[in-house]
């Protein structure tokens, strides 16, 4: 199992106006491996988004260290950190956040341009990514012509295009009906296994416990392991 990203001893607190500071994360360790799907659960307000923002190098912890493929993030310049994110990290959210005026493949091309891929090479990569998420047959459709689940497939293709190896998904099934949510959860499992990426999914959707290799729950600032059915598969 190859280590993609490690958060070690992470603590975070927010200065709340008029009250004492709010400690959201206390000495949290989280590791992500290539080819493994990890789901992070926990009550609303327990710090899931905060931990995802720290793991994805968008926010800095107050204490602890994040390393990405062996590189210590705190030692990188802001420019190096931005490059690392653009090249290696993909993001998907509850809402697919597609550009309405662009077709599916054009939406993926926008994501590729951010990581420096343009021209014929980018088109090839965009088609590959749409094939990975089983939506290449709708490459020239506009978002308004796609279902919620299909739009989420385009968003996942955009997140992964250009061989980005580490995927962060914030509630990727929350806007979908049960059948589409099940499909997206199964697709994410297939993606990490067939393409070897690492994925961290923040979700309230317990369906992920049946497809994830690793499960974690945040409560009172601490991270605990959850049983998953997908672990041994």
Ligand X SMILES: Nc1ncnc2c1ncn2[C@@H]1O[C@H](COP(=O)(O)OP(=O)(O)OP(=O)(O)O)[C@@H](O)[C@H]1O
Report the interface residues with ligand X, using CB under 6 A.
14, 16, 22, 24, 42, 44-50
Give the residue with the Cβ less far from ligand X, 165 or 221: 221
Smallest gap from residue 46 Cβ to ligand X (A): 4
Give the residue with the Cβ less far from ligand X, 58 or 118: 58
Smallest gap from residue 114 Cβ to ligand X (A): 25
Contacts of 134-142 with CB under 8 Å at 24 or more apart are: 134/187, 135/104, 138/104, 139/103, 139/104, 139/105, 140/103, 140/104, 140/105, 141/103, 141/104, 142/100, 142/101, 142/102, 142/103, 142/104
Smallest gap from residue 28 Cβ to ligand X (A): 12
Give the residue with the Cβ less far from ligand X, 14 or 99: 14
Smallest gap from residue 113 Cβ to ligand X (A): 30
Give the residue with the Cβ less far from ligand X, 34 or 216: 216
Taking phi over 0 as left and psi of -120 to 50 as alpha, with beta for the rest, 88 belongs to: alpha
Do 5 and 167 form a contact (C-beta atoms < 8 A)? no
């Amino acid at each position: 199992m190859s280590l993609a990203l490690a958060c070690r001893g992470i603590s975070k607190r927010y200065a709340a106006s008029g009250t004492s500071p709010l400690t959201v994360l206390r000495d949290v360790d989280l590791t992500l491996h290539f080819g493994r799907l990890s789901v992070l659960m926990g009550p609303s307000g327990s710090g899931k988004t905060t931990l995802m923002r720290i793991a994805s190098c968008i926010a800095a912890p107050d204490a602890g260290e994040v390393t990405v493929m062996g590189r210590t993030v705190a030692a990188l310049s802001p420019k190096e950190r931005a490059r690392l994110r653009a090249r290696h990290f993909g993001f998907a959210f509850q809402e697919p956040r597609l550009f309405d005026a662009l077709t599916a493949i054009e939406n993926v091309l926008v994501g590729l341009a951010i990581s420096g891929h343009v021209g014929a090479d980018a088109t090839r990569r965009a088609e590959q990514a749409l094939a990975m998420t089983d939506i290449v047959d709708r490459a020239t459709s506009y978002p308004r012509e796609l279902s919620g689940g299909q739009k989420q497939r385009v968003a996942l293709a955009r997140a992964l295009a250009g061989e980005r190896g580490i995927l962060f998904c914030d509630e990727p099934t929350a806007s979908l009906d049960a059948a589409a949510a099940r499909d997206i959860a199964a697709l994410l499992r297939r993606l990490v296994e067939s393409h070897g990426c690492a994925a961290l999914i923040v979700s309230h959707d317990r369906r992920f416990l049946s497809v994830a290799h690793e499960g974690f729950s945040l409560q009172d600032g601490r991270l605990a392991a959850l049983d998953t059915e997908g672990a041994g598969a």
